[in-house]
Chains A and B, each alone.
Chain A
Amino acid sequence: MKNWLNQHALAIDLVLQRLKSHWLNTLTICMVIGITATLPGLLFVGLDNLQDMSRSIKQDAQISAFLKSSTNANLIQRLINDVQALPQVKEVRYVPKEDAIKQLGAQFLQKDLLVDLPQNPLPDALFITLTDTQPASVKPVQDLLQKRGEVEELVIDSVWIERLHSMLVLGKRIAIIFASLLGIAMITVISNTVRMQVLTHEAEIEVSRLIGATHSFIRRPFLYMGGAYGLGGGLIAIVLLFMIVWNLRQPVQLLANNYQSNFHLVFHLFNVGGLMLLTTIAIGWIAAFIALTQKR
């Protein structure tokens, strides 16, 4: 066990020495990997933020039911009770048309416009908050309201959320395709570099083989080297992403404020950053493995 650990420590030490002795080459390769990883990383950060936003919207998702003007208070109360009885319903808020016109008036400075209206044009409305926006939850509430004659019009807020979800799924798929293509490019770069390293150390490999080195002993430093390139590239990508997000944070917040949203751009270091680091390390290791397999 001690010998095994010694061999790993030795391989790591050897890799660090080699990376240090060719530091400019190391930095160049890490920069290439870092910049290549930043592009899909940026897509994932964007999607991650949109997903966060969609989650927050999901909590406020609701169905708006606008009632016919002929509906009397008893019927409204019965409708509220029936809707509230559904398990998919979290809350039902009733807004009489008198309150609605007051709220509308409060939002506009030109209140005279509303005063001049011959009668209140707004309907009584029920705002139904659902437990979630899954189609299976929306459907029973939608069916109930559509069957009832008191309801003039239904507006289901979850429709556009569903569209957003669909776009997120599509965006994720595009990001994965994009990341895969760039991943192949990274594998090619690292694999080629490791192959060059193998050729440079051919004499050492030959001697080591002759005097009893196992395949693992010979391959280990090169696999670690691939992993190290991935680690270096991943760290550079994280720094670049952090800088880009930091740079975009203020303009995005300003834009969001214009839409009465408190949305702000974030970079989840442990989720997106961690995943990115693991991916680049894995890519480096796989690239080195491919280079060594081709060499054999």
Chain B
Amino acid sequence: MIVFNNVSMRYPNSAHLFRQVSFSIDKGDFVLVTGHSGAGKSTLLKLMAGIELPSSGHILINQQDISQLHPNAVPYLRRRFGLVFQDHKLLYDRNSFDNVALPLSIQGITGEEAARRVRAALDKVGLLNKEKAMPITLSGGEQQRLAIARAVVSRPSIVIADEPTGGLDQAASLEIMQLLKAFNDVGVTVVIAMHDVSQVSTIAYRTLHIDQQTISAMPAQTAML
């Protein structure tokens, strides 16, 4: 599903984040990307979603080389992903319903169909009763759940989450991870960047560990708290 083939990445005027890394993520995988701060976890996720392009090498998403994509095709690639950000990136001038409806609007889905899908997503994350609430009135955990609802509302095949539990307490972090695992259980590929794996509960996962400009893929394991 996601294949990195000899991918190197460096930002202008800075050192390499990775050198010629290769790995693959299969459909239905639950993958944790780990590494110290500044190792390049977020950049790796951005490369997967086509937000950044590699300095060299090839990234294949469903056998399509994203480095070869025409810039106009990139937005359509991104629609295949559900993105969850550490800082939520919610729109604070719109209510919960409108925040979740944004990806559908982008795809031109409006009216009853959009409303049905938004409510289903809000229901999944336990925020159906807060569809009219403004994000600022929600707790940190609720805001992150809202961001997850926005990520899954367009039924992506891959969910990419960058430090989704950052700044949350243990209970809220657990809720978020269980929620992401629930999507993984129905076949959605989930890739999560985390610096603290201890937050992961009883979840079977694969790890991509970034260290010293290399990525080591570890086999599936189950974390127990």
Contact = CB atoms under 8 A, between A and B. Distances in A.
Interface of A: 2-7, 9-10, 203-204, 206-215, 217
Contacts of A217: 75, 106
A291 B72 CA distance: 21
A128 to B, nearest CB: 69
16 contacts: A3-B108, A6-B108, A6-B110, A6-B111, A7-B105, A10-B110, A203-B91, A206-B89, A207-B91, A208-B106, A210-B83, A210-B85, A211-B103, A212-B78, A212-B107, A215-B72
B105 A211 contact: no
Nearest to A209: B75
Most A Cβ at <10 Å: residue of B75, B79, B107, B150: B75
Interface in B73-96: 75-79, 81, 83, 85, 89-92
Interface of B: 49, 51, 72, 75-79, 81, 83, 85, 89-92, 102-103, 105-111, 150
A217 B76 CA distance: 12
B114 to A, nearest CB: 9
B102 A207 contact: yes
Contacts of B79: 211-212
B102 A208 contact: yes
B91 A210 contact: no
A224 to B, nearest CB: 15
Nearest to B153: A211
**What is the predominant secondary structure among interface residues of chain A facing chain B?**
helix
Contacts of A209: 75
B89 A210 contact: yes
Contact of B75 (A5, A6, A9, A214): A214
A6 B91 CA distance: 21
Contact of A6 (B81, B83, B92, B109): B109
Contacts of B77: 212
A9 B102 CA distance: 14
Contact of A210 (B72, B76, B78, B110): B78
Nearest to B73: A214
A182 to B, nearest CB: 34
B89 A203 contact: yes
Contact of A212 (B75, B85, B92): B75
Contacts of B89: 203, 206-207, 210
A213 B105 CA distance: 9
Most B Cβ at <10 Å: residue of A4, A206, A213, A217: A213
Given A203-B91, A210-B83, A211-B83, A9 B110 contact: yes
B191 to A, nearest CB: 15
Contacts of B91: 203-204, 207
B119 to A, nearest CB: 19
Given A208-B102, A210-B83, A214-B72, A3 B51 contact: no
A284 to B, nearest CB: 24
Contacts of B111: 6
A214 B76 CA distance: 8
